[in-house]
Amino acid sequence: MATSAIAFFPVIVLFISRRERDRERGWRTTKRTRAGREREVGDPPTVAVAVVPRARAREYASAQLRARWHGHRRGDGDETVRTTVSLVHPTATGYSGAQCTMWGEVELTSCGKKAYRNGVHRRRHVHAPRAFAARPATPAAAAAPVRARAAVAAGGRRRTSRRGGVRCSAGKPEASAVINGSAAARAAEEDRRRFFEAAERGSGKGNLVPMWECIVSDHLTPVLAYRCLVPEDNMETPSFLFESVEQGPEGTTNVGRYSMVGAHPVMEVVAKEHKVTIMDHEKGKVTEQVVDDPMQIPRSMMEGWHPQQIDQLPDSFTGGWVGFFSYDTVRYVEKKKLPFSGAPQDDRNLPDVHLGLYDDVLVFDNVEKKVYVIHWVNLDRHATTEDAFQDGKSRLNLLLSKVHNSNVPKLSPGFVKLHTRQFGTPLNKSTMTSDEYKNAVMQAKEHIMAGDIFQIVLSQRFERRTYANPFEVYRALRIVNPSPYMAYVQARGCVLVASSPEILTRVRKGKIINRPLAGTVRRGKTEKEDEMQEQQLLSDEKQCAEHIMLVDLGRNDVGKVSKPGSVKVEKLMNIERYSHVMHISSTVSGELDDHLQSWDALRAALPVGTVSGAPKVKAMELIDELEVTRRGPYSGGLGGISFDGDMLIALALRTIVFSTAPSHNTMYSYKDTERRREWVAHLQAGAGIVADSSPDDEQRECENKAAALARAIDLAESAFVDKE
């Protein structure tokens, strides 16, 4: 009778770890024989099977799956019972593995595992309560761990592999064995063993241990993953998205191997001049202090961190500090010659430093088509290793649930129309009028003729208003101007949308890299035109002289923090081709001195000569005199500092800065029933001034650079904003 009932009705299987008190309750326990019959045995039950009538199957499945039986309590409630739910007949119930949002991992008792090994299926029949049909559906909670997700959309069967992440094999899923409890239990045990070994190995010297899962990425992109972590209407949460397009052979471009996504830092450090605000979101604590050098705050915090080095993790940024350093952070280094009191007007009141500490990071491997979902556990914040493991596992599962959320937000579709007419207001509003900028160029030339400086970079800031939000502009900028260092960074008070071609500084395993990029010409339409442009660029004495000056500045910056005799020019005046332009590039390297850190290399490089001039300090003194407003993030740096001390900071060029302060001025009427918010975009650009510079040419260069950035706003408006 039991066999026929199971064959006829759709069944929901609940694997429930038992307690010793079950013996006293007299539950009927059966044991299936080889003939398919059942007989009672004396052992207490280890597994329960709930048999549900067909009419209630869908409702029962929905409520049970959404209730997350991981938290279900039995009896007097003194013990949490770990459970998992699997659909024996997913087609009949209407909940296949691909549709179901709540697939839990199996945690069997030792008795349960032994029963599986011996091929004995012990169970108890429990009929669904009569009143269940009237029970309201439980609201969907955070998704359960996805390691045991039953079936893939393609009809394949998924199995868990610690080394390769999730493997998918062809074939239909077995109806009676949707979840392999034994494999999941072994995987969970392997997680525990790996974590405890890392914690023991790092005892006394390594207090940061990573936990991670590796999943296939064919259903996910970095842009979509970011939107899974940060809703579209949330423009305040600190978060980041880093992507890259690298130069390939013979001038081709390739997508960079790694892309990184992170949101909701556990800690933030925000500095405005000498006032520092530290927000510890774990403890819910905010502290403020006035210090001489705010950059020492995150540095001192890192001195107590000792991350475990895991070979299986990708060779990229996997967790640590992410944010930006404004141009004005140089005033923490040159306190006497460049004090804040002598800086130009601060009309935006943006932070000088904003850093978020990210212990949850997604790393996309664009070559192997997989995603590393990583959570770092700080052992010092937990009383025992077991507590650290359970908390880390819970947080990792929560991060996985966001990525695997069945209600994945949709990205707005858009048509790529690069030759559309310009939307919005033109770039006719600047911090300086055309005549004011030309006059500043003439004053700079007088200082050059007097021998005070050899070169100076003077910039001006343009304003553009738009109804395209910053993330839409970033999506467009990836198309208009792909570059090696593309970034979308939400910070306190502003959003940065960047497509930088150049690094400010890079420190990797003790090696410092500085790559001056100066000398630019547009790409030709054919390979032959490209070659002609290259020859013309390398023959331009003015461009080459500027580049050599910047190489000397780079050697000086690297030499300040390198071991004696280790500084060298690895590449000199090579041509790098990008989507629209070509640059002259050189590479300067050195070995970081033993008693110094990557923070020292950053302090020595800020800001690079590409955006200041030569000699650097004197040029910056003149910039304070000739420019009318503070630069803010422009010509500073943005990027990350890993837990292990490695650093990659890109130069904040080709960067659009959006203020998160609301603007109520309207430009156009839109078809959207809900009024779109108007954003103010700041686009700053500069030109290198030398002895024979023409003021008209330098003004035109600034306008052209800003217009190239504004092209991304044009595309975002034509693609995503429905204008009448």
Size of the chain in residues: 724
Choice among 84, 160, 385, 610 that is catalytic: 610
Which residues sit opposite 503 in a β-bridge?
650
DSSP string, 173-187: PPTT-SS-HHHHHHH
Dihedral (CA of 585, 586, 590, 596) sign: negative
Give dist(CA 338, CA 458) in Å, integer: 17
Continuous segment of H or E residues that includes residue 519 = strand 517-522
Cα atoms in the Cβ-side hemisphere of radius 13 Å centred on 702: 31
The CA angle 149-151-153, to the nearest 5 degrees, is 115
Our answer to whether residue 634 is catalytic in this structure is yes
Residues 6+ away with beta carbon under 8 Å from 29: 40, 41, 42, 43, 44, 45, 122, 123, 124
If phi over 0 gives left and psi between -120 and 50 gives alpha, with beta otherwise, what is residue 648?
A: beta
Closest CA to 483 of 581, 366, 554: 581
Nearest to 478 by CA among 654, 659, 677: 654
Query: How far is 65 from 87, CA to CA, in rounded Å?
Result: 10
Helix segments in 17-98, DSSP class H: 22-25, 54-66, 90-93
- Burial label for 474, CB within 10 Å (0-12, 13-18, 19+), is buried
Active site residue 29: no
Q: Which residues contact 404 (CB under 8 A, 6 or more apart)?
A: 143, 146, 149, 215
Is 284 an active-site residue?
Answer: no
318 tagged catalytic: no
Token duo for residue 188: 């969970």
Write a three-state SS string for 259-293. Answer: EEEEECCCEEEEEECCEEEEEECCCCEEEEEECCC
Residue tagged active-site, from 181, 634, 637, 686: 634
* Selected catalytic residue, list 630, 636, 688, 711: 688
Catalytic residue among 583, 603, 630, 682: 583
**Does the active-site annotation cover 590?**
no
CA quadruple 569, 573, 654, 250: dihedral positive or negative? negative
Tokens of 361: 């990071």
Specify the DSSP element, H or E, that contains 126.
strand 122-127
Distance between CA atoms of residues 428 and 294, nearest Å: 37
3-state secondary structure of 361: strand
Q: What CA–CA distance (Å, rounded) separates 43 from 22?
A: 10
Instruction: With beta carbons less than 8 A apart as the criterion, state whether 160 and 187 touch.
Output: yes
Task: Determine which one of 354, 464, 515, 654 is catalytic.
Answer: 654
Which strand (E) or helix (H) includes residue 681? strand 679-689
Catalytic residue numbers read 583, 610, 634, 654, 688
